[in-house]
Structure 1
């Protein structure tokens, strides 16, 4: 397995914690040289909402490693509430990071990806893009845009030798979800509810998402393009009967 990405350079945005950190560790374990882009706790400091910051970080990676083969657009933020619960500024902030951030980083990385023999982009999307979840209007809208953007990017760049796909996690046991649970009136009940809405009955692990990202990014997945890979315990497609008492 350590030879799967041998000689390839991967960039992971939002890679200092949560899903991004798991992805960075997984790609490194499979032989990639990994550059983590994040706001802090990393060599390549990058704010995906600032074009100059993005271009400087991507240029620094290319200068350090001489190439970029894999881009994992993972940086993102969550949002709670109905369509009425967030003001215009918050809608713009979330879309700027979750959607336009992908465009900024990809735009900067494209010249390097075009020269790679195994170029791949993987966007972190969400089950929220394909299932109506309560109290997630803004977040769902942003991730729906990520899904549409993924398909459009795949169509635009496949003939340039760049595969584009996305991964759709369910509720993942990350620091962000942990903060939501801590803020709930009854954290244990909220955790049980989040676990129960996934058919396999638990939260998804960051490592499970990382395995899916690694598959989509791998040179071995050369015929996989323009797809969304659900890692959600069956939430998107299964309708299990209630457990009999």
Structure 2
């Protein structure tokens, strides 16, 4: 049976690889990106998020089987906080009524192994409180600060997203409605977004000192796509609120035998 899957960030990287894989398997894809996809939408803005929901509703006829909230930025900027957290949450919440029309709905977000690094607590609290103005203000302060402060934006947004998934997945609106909600947390993936870290052997060695990946190292986006494809498949009927680290072992190295 053909399933309709919405993928944000579908024009490049993990999103594009996942769209190609799922299309090869006979699924119908509704891609969303800034440009060059089925729906052009800027998920850093409320207007863009509404355009996403309205566009998907129109193209799908009012029902979708899977949502992959994958769009994101890794730059030390305010926009990263806007799209990585508020854009992802708006995607999931906005499309949840369309998922509810499917006999086998599935939803997944793309977090990151960067969620393991210490967050900026002030930004994290504001993100989880859903206060976008305050969160973006704090992100602006970090972006104007030291490189370490600015670089904390990305990991903090991904930690907040992972926590949002954990908090909401078991609720009546998601699990109670029969919608498995989960996330993946990739390590370093070879995409345009990570080119500065992967384009030379020296750069690759440097990033692997920060992000240990003992199992096969840096990997192509297709590898993450295989996991996302399973998570939005009918076979995934019971995974609930899990953040799955597909990271070549970074999580195991950095957290040891701790599972929390």
Q: Does 1:208 align with 2:220?
A: no
| 1:51 paired residue number | 46
- 1:82-139 CA distance string (max 9 Å, x none): xxxxxxxx3x432211000012212221111111111111100001112459954221
Contact 1:12/1:72 (CA < 8 Å) preserved in 2? yes
Counterpart for residue 159 of structure 1: 176
Classify 1:131/1:215 alpha carbon distance in 2 versus 1 (closer, same or farther; 3 Å).
farther
Matched, 1:126 2:112: yes
Q: Does 1:218 align with 2:244?
A: no
Matched, 1:100 2:86: yes
Asked if the contact 1:46/1:57 (under 8 Å) is kept, the reply is: yes
For 2:2 and 2:216, the matched residues in 1 are separated by: 39
User: How many aligned residue pairs are there?
Assistant: 220
Partner of 1:19: 14
Measured on the aligned residues, the alpha-carbon RMSD in Å equals 2.1
SS at match of 2:235: helix
Is the CA contact 1:195–1:201 (under 8 Å) kept in the aligned structure 2?
A: no
1:35-61 alpha-carbon deviations (Å, 9 max, x no partner):
110001112111112223222333222
Q: Give the Cα–Cα distance (whole angstroms) in 1 for the partners of residues 157 and 51 of structure 2.
A: 26
Instruction: Point out where structure 2 has 5 or more consecutive residues left out of the alignment.
Output: 120-146, 255-260
Unpaired stretches in structure 1, ≥5 consecutive residues? 1-5, 81-89, 240-245
TM-score (norm 1): 0.82
Contact 1:165 1:226 in 2 (8 A): yes
| C-alpha distance in 2 between matches for 1:129 and 1:59 | 31
- Paired residue secondary structure (2:251): coil
Please give the per-residue CA displacement for 1:180-232, whole angstroms capped at 9, x wherever unaligned.
Answer: 556xxxx4311123346211252022011001111111110101111011111
**Aligned mate of 1:70, from 66, 73, 80:** 66
- In the other structure, the counterpart of 1:3 is none
Aligned residue in 2 for 1:32: 27
Matched, 1:178 2:195: yes
- Whole-angstrom distance in 2 between the partners of 1:132 and 1:52: 32
Q: Secondary structure of 1:122's partner?
A: strand
TM-score by length of structure 2 reads 0.78
Q: Displacement of 1:152 after TM fit?
A: 1.7
Once the two structures are TM-superposed, the CA of residue 238 in structure 1 deviates from its matched residue by 3.9
